[in-house]
Structure 1
Amino acid sequence: MGGFRPKKPVLAQTQRVERVDLDEEEMMMYTKLLEADSKNVEALKAIFHGKMKRGKTKEAIKYIHRLIAIEPKQVEWRLLQALCYEMIGDFSKAKSLFKDVLKERPLLLRALHGLAMVMHKNLEGPAVFEMLNNALEIARQRKKVTDERNIRILIAQMHVVKGELDDAMKQLKDLIEENPRDFRPYLCQGIIYSLLDRKEEAEEQFLTYQSLLPDEFPQREFLDDVVLAAKTEIRQKRKNMVKPEFSMKK
């Protein structure tokens, strides 16, 4: 599967914006390269990531627009475009952009997660799960077993984001029963137990996760970002609550 700023929209993490540290001299160098060649993709990328790193999202948007104009079929740029609009609080625009990507690739996990988070931040409630369940049905109809499982894990993670830990744990346990070799549900369960201050159980889950984690997992960074985002969201939710409104049932 399956996250740059305080209280950041999660897609800043999940879209895996590169952590590029450009000093002013380097930024100037790339700016001059663009002056010489307005379609220099590497220069556009470098300046975009440099702007994002500095928290200048509005300035970064024009560079991602230029990248899309040059490489309109590159999904990465379109995901980052949606990310930018989410980061500046334009949820309507971000939602529209994620939906555009999903029209072409309805099972793209990063777009599904991005849309789910924007809908969550836009206080759309149950509609988040309706959207994800629709994607789940598409995966089942197309017999895309891997996509189906990935979406089920994402649904569980969204329950965590919303503070619905009982629902999340139930789904994760079902996933483990179906495939005990998949490391991802253990990682999610470990985070849930940590949030509930059940440290021994959390440690047990994290150890299992580490023992099963492949050396080269293609979506490892994305999954890590998603669960870290979930952890950030739920901690903030708990901080704002006088008393917890949920409990974990064994």
Structure 2
Amino acid sequence: MPPPELVRGKTDDVFSDFALLYTVHSNCTSVISMENSRRNILNHIVSLIFSLAQNLRSSIGSKSSGAPVSAPAAVETAFSDEDKERVLEENLLLNPNDVGALRSLMEMKIQSRKIAKAIGIIDRLMEIDPSDTEWPLLKSHLYAYSGEVETAKNGFNEILAKDPFRAEAYHGLVMAASKSKSTQDLMEIEKRIEEGMKLCKKQGKKAEFRDFKLLEAQIRVIEGKHDEALKVYQELVKEEPRDFRPYICQGIIYTLLRKNNEAEKNFEKFRRLVPKGHPYATYFDETMIATKVFAQKMENEIAMSKK
């Protein structure tokens, strides 16, 4: 069985859904060049894996409900998306502090790419419960997704000022640097991550240290150093062979590098280790569909370039 810290978490984390949307959208809309295509795809897919991993080991003591938040069943089956949004908005006029309705409406706004409205709802959720640390994180990620990179960076840095071990915020900075194509920013973030790793070692924070190592691997992916990224994942496997996260990361990289045998070996280890019914398994199929589509797209472009 995997270590306890790897099987805890919220099954309804909206950021996991957003991360998948972000990954697919980013890869479908990014400008493709021969060398950057593979790098961008790998970066976004590994970013998705990191995001899911972080949310799956969120603290057990979270105030969020363990059950998915959704609109009432009648709304789900009888109305269009526009109708569902209208029903939720009407409900909120009567009950402006209905957290469940706010979360459901926020999810719908994200899915329909109405990012500014989703951010407005997050602001309301933050007013209702200022102690919930997930909302500032999601808000900053949404800013990054919508192209407001500097605003996103400010948000992530504010989070880190309060919690220097918050790997998800560092992950956001890494993605912001990648989006803005700033090599200097990426180098500075890497230095901060290295300092964080030293502090984790000193204070015996093993889980946080592994999170920083996952970030280190993602930076190697952004730099196009796939062999070095794989080496980091292999180190993580050696340190804790029951952690299924490095296996799926390696499998995805090998898939995109067209090394299918190596990919399948790692996916098999992942399938064997991930607990049945675990949220991570739910996202695996969707992630692999996206990975295979992008890998085929990249292969087609290479073939076209040789003509």
Q: Secondary structure at the match of 2:182?
A: coil
Residue by residue, what CA displacement relative to the aligned partner does 1:168-192 show, whole Å, maximum 9, x if unpaired? 1221222222233322222222122
Q: Is the 8 A contact 2:255 2:295 kept in 1?
A: no
Instruction: Name the structure 2 match of 1:149.
Output: 210
Q: In 2, Cα distance between the equivalents of 1:130 and 1:27?
A: 44
Work out the CA distance in 1 between the residues paired with 2:118 and 2:244.
36
SS state of the match for residue 105, structure 2?
helix
Q: Does 1:187 align with 2:277?
A: no
Between the aligned residues of both structures, percent identity stands at 29
Equivalence for 2:158: 100
**C-alpha distance in structure 1 between counterparts of 2:268 and 2:225, whole Å:** 24
User: Shift of the alpha carbon at 1:82?
Assistant: 0.6
Q: Which residue of 2 aligns with 1:138?
A: 199
| Rounded Cα–Cα distance in structure 1 between residues aligned with 2:188 and 2:291 | 22
Q: Within 2, Cα distance between the matches of 1:65 and 1:117? A: 22
User: Which stretch has the larger CA shift, 187-196 or 48-57?
Assistant: 187-196
- Pairwise CA distance, 1:144: 0.3
Contact 2:255/2:291, CA 8 A, preserved across alignment: no
Structure 1 residues not aligned, in runs of 5+: 244-250
Task: Tell me which residue corresponds to 1:29.
Answer: 87
Change in Cα spacing, 1:75 to 1:155, as seen in structure 2 (3 Å) is: same
* Cα offsets for 1:142-200 (capped at 9, x unmatched): 21012112221221133224321011122122222223332222222212221221111
2:258 to 194, 197, 200: 197
CA distance in 1, matches of 2:226, 2:69: 31
CA contact 2:170–2:189 (8 Å) conserved in 1: no
- The residue type equivalent to 1:7 in the other structure is S
The aligned residue for residue 160 of structure 1 is 221
Contact 2:69 2:104 survives alignment (8 Å): no
Q: Which of these residues, 231, 234, 243, is aligned with residue 170 of structure 1?
A: 231
Q: How does 1:1-250 map to 2 (within 5 A)?
A: 3=19, 4=21, 6-7=25-26, 14=51, 23-125=81-183, 126-215=187-276, 220=280
Question: Measured at CA, do residues 163 and 223 of structure 1 come closer, stay the same or move farther in structure 2, by a change above 3 Å?
Answer: farther
Higher helix share: 2
- Partner of 1:106: helix, strand, or coil? coil
TM-score by length of 2: 0.65
Partner SS for 1:7: helix
Aligned residues: 238
Structure 1 counterpart of 2:140, which letter? A
Unaligned runs of 5+ in 2: 1-5, 7-15, 31-43, 56-67, 71-75
Give the CA deviation at 1:78.
0.9
